Amino acid sequence: MAKHGKRYIEAAKLVDPEKQYEPTEAAALVKKTATAKFDQTIEVHIRLGVDPRQSDEMVRGTIGLPHGTGKRVRIAVFAQGEKANEATKAGADEVGAADLIAKVDGGWSDFDVAIATPDMMGQVGKLGKVLGRKGLMPNPKAGTITNDLERTIAELKSGRVEFKVDKAAIIHLGFAKASFSEAQIVGNLATLLDAVNRSKPTGLKGTFIKGVSISASMGPGVAVDVPALLAVAG
């Protein structure tokens, strides 16, 4: 078992591990546990009643968070010609075609999201091993293979995030900052959980969302009351 530092241990004393907190109460508690000197990311961990090994039970999607993530999103765009100009004007951090592909293939990965126009995917596909293992490969389900570069870049810059269940049937995602207000934290969390809930696989039996906890990136988890959170979103 991992050993925790004094700051974590003191923060954990504030949390009742047997309690599911109301959304606003949970947000306030997480802010209290974020005692580091920098603005910590607030993360959510959503445990689902699915079997990710089954293709029809894979849960993923994208959603625009109403208050953004508080994080600067660095975007690389694989495009050429007028589409490259569109991406540059829209605020992409790196834009290119064969030159960008060679740069990434050489080991450069100083970006958070990769977007590609459909006509570039034949070449970008060669980066599957490089981008795939980092979760950065453009994907139509994530909306990152598109010709609508201006809208996509604007959405990503303003707080659009992708969620995807992992092999343990859990979604992990940073969705806010400790400096956010309680209302902003709850607003983002409720919006995200509503999107996940609407992504429930057709025909799935049993409980879909089994549990939700939030935490500062260096703090203890705080369990959130799921029905109360969905009620906020509703």
Domain boundaries, the chain: 18-69+160-233, 75-157
What does DSSP say about strands 209-216 and 41-48: parallel, antiparallel, or unpaired? antiparallel
**DSSP per-residue letters across 141-195:** GGT-B-S-HHHHHHHHHHTEEEEE--TTSEEEEEEEETTS-HHHHHHHHHHHHHH
Please report the pLDDT score of residue 84 as a whole number: 97
CA-nearest of 39, 13, 12, 44 to 27 is: 44
pTM for this predicted structure: 0.79
CATH code of the domain made up of 18-69+160-233: 3.30.190.20
Could you read off the pLDDT of 29-84 as tens digits, one per residue? 999 999 888 999 999 999 999 999 998 999 999 899 999 999 889 999 999 999 99
Radius of gyration of the chain (CA): 19
Res 102 pLDDT > 60: yes
Neighbours of 59 (CB within 10 A): 19
Query: What CA–CA distance (Å, rounded) separates 191 from 111?
Result: 25
CA-nearest of 125, 137, 181 to 162 is: 137
Query: What CA–CA distance (Å, rounded) separates 11 from 102?
Result: 46
- The backbone torsions φ and ψ at residue 180, rounded to the nearest 5 degrees and listed phi first, read -65, 155
Please report the pLDDT score of residue 133 as a whole number: 84
Quickly state the pLDDT bin for 14 (edges 50, 70, 90): confident
Please report the pLDDT score of residue 1 as a whole number: 47
| Interval 90-108 mean pLDDT | 96
The topology under which CATH files domain 75-157 is: Rossmann fold (3.40.50)
Neighbours of 26 (CB within 10 A): 27
